[in-house]
Chain A
């Protein structure tokens, strides 16, 4: 019985490895091309997967010719503002929906649930009109504002605040703490796993957001990685595949590192994260 299982497990690992290769081969090739000082072999497979004359020359040129760290800084600013804003708006809202009774509560929650399934992309044109009337085109605030009232965030916060033991909340209320204090001193500390999950999912979504920043910004030095690197690589850099691949590798590395530390949240989700 036991001996006969080994071929089965071997087949499993073989299958898993083949699919893992399918997932990463574009980036393995990109890495090899970026590291190859000599670009003549990059279209000759399978040799192209092994760097010829390896060196960091192309990476140095990316740093020299592309404001890479400016893009990284912008991505950080936009992501941090989005995470802070989403938490600041959705925590009180979700808490009120979960722990308070007020007219219009069901209507508000129903409207928020409904928009979870609607295509947010059709809002880009109306939001661009709104943002330009507010004079916020080409500003960080304008890039972040439309993403703050996250339907997923409100939903997750409401569901998780409902799980808190009622006695704890009531005890704090009886002690005379105002609702605002109860929320931040009692409820949020008890609900940190859900808040952390929301923060990470929001961070990933904001970091990867491509379309809206591409629409709202026109100053190159304000662009996040997702837009800045894409514009450069499909524009001035496109002449050199080696340069493109070096830049691609640099753009992907921060995501891989961040993901490596937080993969548990994505692989065993307590709530459904957004698809992209």
Chain B
């Protein structure tokens, strides 16, 4: 696509400002983390000393880091929940009924609301006298007045984080499924209907094959999203109640513990995990990625 005939020097002038900022604030941090991972960093003097794998040994011994790893596996449970919910919602609202835009927009709203502000409201939803415990009492799952203090108790607080993530992100994936559903030709649906296919048969044999690439993309995005859970925890629990996650661990180690070396080691490991997932994504999606297609 690119045209010859323009001098490369011109092209370099066009890309230089962006490439410079990109190099300093996106590429350099990765290299810096990789370097920090093997250093003792003395904040006051800004001196550093190579320490082989000492930082990784600290990680291996750190209980907080182990909890973080365990939690990030547990948070993967949100992936099927969010995907199922998003697909269900998309099927619910993809027909152009009157007022449908209002409903779609409402479901998307949590995505565009600032995570910190949403986190505050949900702190109060999870309050031991809050809406959630009232609802649970209402449907008989809980004796009145025996409310769980969701954000303070180990085990439950991670469930609360999961519920918050579901609420915040289900609308995002709904939109992606809607885009996918819009690509299913109406004639195919109608032909199947004429052939006497029921609702389930039509979904299984007409819609789903065309929607599967979108589902794969969404699942991978949502997997990376679940692994990256961080700000949601920061604003809900601040990491209390055993809700530590890998990125929160990096953040706390750097800005509360001032142990830059260990933070760098954790960053490096986490980046490698994300690279692995991304490579898997490229492998599975190849050129079929419905959102990065170039005509």
Residues of chain A touching chain B, judged by Cβ–Cβ distance below 8 Å, are: 9, 12-13, 15-16, 19-20, 22-27, 29-30, 43, 45-46, 88-90, 92-93, 95-103, 105, 108, 111-112, 114-115, 117-130, 145-149, 151, 154-155, 159, 162-163, 166, 169-170, 173, 179, 183, 204, 207-208, 210-211, 215, 225-227, 229-230, 233-234, 241, 244-245, 248, 251-252, 255-256, 259-260, 263, 266-269, 271-272, 275-276
Contacts and interface: CB of A to CB of B under 8 A. Distances in A.
B115 A276 contact: yes
Interface string B89-109: 100110101000101111111
23 contacts: A25-B131, A26-B121, A26-B131, A93-B15, A93-B19, A96-B11, A100-B10, A117-B224, A121-B228, A125-B250, A127-B29, A145-B25, A149-B26, A179-B10, A204-B112, A207-B114, A210-B114, A255-B112, A256-B109, A266-B108, A267-B101, A268-B175, A276-B169
B130 interface: yes
A148 B123 CA distance: 32
Interface string B234-250: 11000000000001001
Contacts of B10: 100, 179
B33 interface: yes
A166 B110 CA distance: 41
Contacts of A204: 112
Interface in B63-86: none
B117 A230 contact: yes
Given A23-B107, A163-B295, A263 B115 contact: no
Nearest to B20: A149
Contacts, number: 278
Given A89-B21, A179-B14, A114 B114 contact: no
A119 B247 contact: yes
Given A16-B93, A275-B221, A100 B11 contact: yes
A99 B3 contact: yes
Given A16-B93, A30-B121, A233-B120, A24 B17 contact: no
Given A119-B271, A267-B178, A126 B115 contact: no
A19 to B, nearest CB: 7
B191 interface: no
A248 B121 contact: yes
Contacts of A124: 251, 254
B85 to A, nearest CB: 9
A269 B108 CA distance: 12
Residue of A112, A130, A276 with most chain B CB atoms under a 10 A cut-off: A276
B116 A229 contact: yes
A236 to B, nearest CB: 14
Nearest to A26: B121
Given A100-B8, A117-B275, 18 more contacts: A12-B95, A25-B131, A26-B124, A29-B125, A30-B121, A43-B130, A100-B11, A105-B2, A112-B22, A119-B271, A122-B267, A125-B260, A125-B263, A179-B10, A244-B124, A245-B121, A256-B109, A267-B101
B193 to A, nearest CB: 12
A93 B12 CA distance: 9
A256 B118 CA distance: 13
- By Cβ-Cβ distance, the 3 closest A-B pairs, closest first, are A126-B29, A123-B29, A93-B18
Interface string B209-235: 000000000000100110110110011
Given A119-B274, A130-B25, A230-B235, A97 B15 contact: yes
